[in-house]
A and B are shown apart, each in its own frame.
Chain A
């Protein structure tokens, strides 16, 4: 059943395409030697090139080109060995050159595709139209002064990849899943840190609606949406607005809109018909960008394992379910943690502990997998203590909680608190004898056929042993004594 929104005139389909701006991970900017680091003092990472001083010549950063190529390869896309930079002309206070150096007619990366995973377990292929390199603009602060805006050019000239999708998405969920997957791929590749809060990744969302079987109707672009959740909300809000326009007899005008996150609606941003007249032309400062196939091959050979490959490997080598593999590979930090725990151990048990107890502890302590409350080595050691019979599953959970609280290694905790599981059959027998003597009536009932009482005896024994009895041994001895 495909996603539709019910209007007064019946169901409407959604057509969604995304343009994602992803900041390239590099030390220096796209065309200058100034630093890219986030959060520096205003205008301290600005060269004369970035400030648009006259007579300054841009020289491209090889690593930024490599990052674009890696990303293209990760998106299963065509790499263009010949590409070119154009000037996109517009005026804004944080664009000192008066134009953005971008790639309009000849992008470095052509068509590609990625598979997205949906809630119902299905996958869908989304087409990539292109990826091109361009300069970021500076940052404007509007709330520091009653009549002035403040401009910081530290971000001016930082390399961006603009990644354009085909209009292949049909629901807010698919748009969210696409952005999730794209972010995951970029983070695995190390070509963008994917930090949406700091603005390293932002999306322009193109939305239109239509009746089943129709071609495309006019679309609107919702600019600069900065979280996956907001993208999904903006898609739905904009689709509902357009449906209302069409159903009230109006016409949707092609325009740029903003998503008001507080009110959950989109509003018109600029209506000037000139806004999109960027008068692109080839940048006369820059010769064509020509790269060698052999270099592309080298970059390809050195690509890290991508999420799809890793997920398949987990299912194949670790024998965990596709769903567990999906969850464990969503963030590369989670995958690294999991592999450290699973290596040489019961991989399924490791998956359960990471996804269950560890995730819960991270939520509870408001930490992250990058700075986990329990290290992978310590969790692994805990699993080892279960494997060698030192700890029962129940005791292991208790020890884990102490590990979260104290950050200490499981071996130390077991020793200090005397939590070691009792595997001495003699000791267990002594306790059981006592339990049976105290409950002679129940023993009689059990022997006369009330099998269910067995659990009662196990419970009493464990209670008497403060949970430290080895469950298998307790069972074994009880069966023997009650026989």
Chain B
């Protein structure tokens, strides 16, 4: 499997990454290299093996859970500290018009 340049541009657009035209070919080559590695992995016979989504096979460690208790929040100044723009206790962003 290999990606054409149109798909590379589309993936970049979906990820909101600006991709100058002269870099498309280079990125295409890199992504196809990665896909090549994945194709190698596909060659391994996994018949009868449960698919695994992450480094935690089913049943070995279930998801830990927290109790339904309020233990966080009340830190608006810290949450807003890195905001490029704020309006009072709100984040300010360029107008999002629907």
Contact = CB atoms under 8 A, between A and B. Distances in A.
Nearest to B89: A42
B89 A43 contact: yes
A32 interface: yes
Nearest to A273: B10
B1 interface: no
A62 B67 CA distance: 6
Interface residues of A, number: 55
B96 interface: yes
Interface stretch (A149-157, A175-183, A375-383): A149-157
B92 A145 contact: yes
B73 A33 contact: yes
Interface stretch (B20-28, B32-40, B79-87): B79-87
Contacts of B73: 33-35, 44-47
A282 interface: yes
B74 to A, nearest CB: 6
Nearest to A281: B53
Contacts of A147: 94-95
Contacts of A47: 72-73, 75
Interface stretch (A136-144, A210-218, A226-234, A328-336): A136-144
A16 to B, nearest CB: 24
Given A44-B74, A288-B56, A142 B97 contact: yes
Interface string B27-67: 00000000000000000000000000110101101111111
A142 B10 CA distance: 29
Contact of B68 (A64, A92, A144, A145): A64
Interface string A111-153: 0000000000000000000000000000011101111111111
B78 to A, nearest CB: 8
Given A147-B95, A274-B10, A289-B63, A26 B68 contact: yes
A51 B98 CA distance: 23
A195 B87 CA distance: 29
Given A47-B72, A51-B79, A290-B62, A282 B89 contact: no
Contacts of B54: 282, 284, 286-287
A41 interface: yes
B95 A149 contact: yes
Contacts of B98: 258, 269
A277 B72 CA distance: 33
A404 B17 CA distance: 66
B79 A140 contact: no
B63 A287 contact: yes
A61 B66 contact: yes
Given A42-B90, A148-B92, 10 more contacts: A33-B69, A43-B80, A46-B76, A59-B64, A60-B64, A91-B16, A145-B95, A148-B94, A151-B93, A277-B14
Interface of B: 10, 13-14, 16, 53-54, 56, 58-59, 61-76, 78-80, 85, 87-98
14 contacts: A33-B71, A33-B72, A35-B70, A35-B73, A41-B76, A43-B79, A44-B73, A46-B79, A59-B65, A91-B16, A142-B95, A142-B97, A147-B95, A274-B10
